[in-house]
Amino acid sequence: MTAMLKEAQGSFAPLRQKLLRLGVHENDLGVILSRIRTGPRLQRGDNILAARHSANHLTVLMDGIACLYERLTDGSRQIYSFQYAGDFCDLGRHVLEATEPKTVVGAVTECRIGYLENRVLDQLLVQYPSFGTALWRSCVIETGALRATLLSSRQPALQCVAHLLCEQLARQSATGIDEAIIPISQVDLADAAGLSVVHVNRVFQELLAMNLLSKVGRYIMVVDRGRLARLGNFDGRCLDMPKVLSSWNVKI
């Protein structure tokens, strides 16, 4: 019983951390988190949103890594962003009906997801306005990250990949996890960076030679975060959560 609670608590920790940083009041968190229904466990490659295509809920990634992508007519895949524990998978759908119908959210590693029914979500938004603001903020931050990605994609591949890796570290640490290992395959990274796998691999070895990365099994470990960020012109602020709040929040 205690063990179960502990485990449940653990899986909610990233989301709790994220909502806190997004400006949700600590006292409101308990109620909000308690309304989340735990969903299935998914394997790499599974379509997270297709699991319940009905779209009657907001989907939260409770554990693991997912990616938002689109498959092109020629079979190639563009990954727009990776998502980590505590991230909302389909935030746009709530305010915008048929947002990006072609966009898919897939599991990159083994994942566990949670649901928040639309009906419940609506209640929460009315009851806790800071929750709505948090979701809105989340969208604004995502937009900023996307701009940074676009910017980095104009750079040569070495710096582009460096930026991508820094972004992953920053996204992880947004949920309170400060892990230097990025468990993402080169194939996935290539699809995110818009480079060929072959070239990503070459860039990798260059980064290894520069002692910025090292390999842990099949995965990547970032050795020198600072130098990697400078190389990729990564601006950590682009994913920062607010602690200070705008007048909007003071008002409501």
Partner DNA sequence: CGTGCTGTTGAGGACGATCAATGACGGTGG
Partner DNA sequence: CCACCGTCATTGATCGTCCTCAACAGCACG
Contact flag: residue 125 with DNA (CB under 7 A): no
Considering only 143, 196, 205, 211, the residue that binds its own copies (CB under 8 A) is 143
Which residues, at least 6 apart from 100, have a Cβ–Cβ distance to it below 8 Å? 70, 92
Residue 218 beta carbon to DNA: minimum distance, rounded to whole angstroms: 5
Determine if 100 is a binding residue for its own copies (CB under 8 A): yes
Contact 152, 238 (CB under 8 A): no
- Between CA 160 and CA 148 the distance in angstroms is 10
The answer to whether residue 173 forms part of the interface with DNA (CB under 7 A) is: no
Identify residue 75 by its one-letter amino acid code. G
Q: Which stretch binds DNA (CB under 7 A): 27-35, 52-60, 201-209, 229-237?
A: 201-209
242 binds, among its own copies, DNA, none (CB under 5 to 8 A by kind): its own copies
Alpha helices in the chain (DSSP H): 2-21, 26-34, 92-95, 118-127, 129-152, 157-173, 186-193, 197-209, 225-231, 247-251
| Cα dihedral across residues 239, 63, 161, 220: positive or negative | positive
Stretch that binds its own copies, among 39-47, 113-121, 203-211, 215-223 (CB under 8 A): 113-121
Q: Which of DNA, its own copies, none does residue 144 bind to, with CB < 5 to 8 Å depending on kind?
A: its own copies
154 touching its own copies, by CB under 8 A: yes
**Per rule CB under 7 A, is residue 221 in the interface with DNA?**
no
CB atoms under 10 Å from CB of 26, counted, come to: 9
Task: Of 62, 81, 229, 69, give the one whose Cα is nearest residue 142.
Answer: 81
User: Least Å distance between CB 4 and its own copies?
Assistant: 32
Tell me: does residue 176 bind DNA (CB under 7 A): no
> Which pair of structure tokens corresponds to residue 24?
């949700």
Q: Are 111 and 42 in contact (CB under 8 A)?
A: yes
Rule CB under 8 A: say whether 97 interacts with its own copies.
Answer: yes
- In the complex, the residues that contact DNA under the rule CB under 7 A are 156-158, 160, 185-187, 194-199, 201-202, 204-205, 215, 218
- In the complex, the residues that contact its own copies under the rule CB under 8 A are 70, 72-73, 78, 80, 91-103, 118-119, 121-122, 125-126, 132-133, 135-137, 139-144, 146-147, 149-151, 153-154, 194, 233, 235, 237-238, 242, 244-248, 251-252
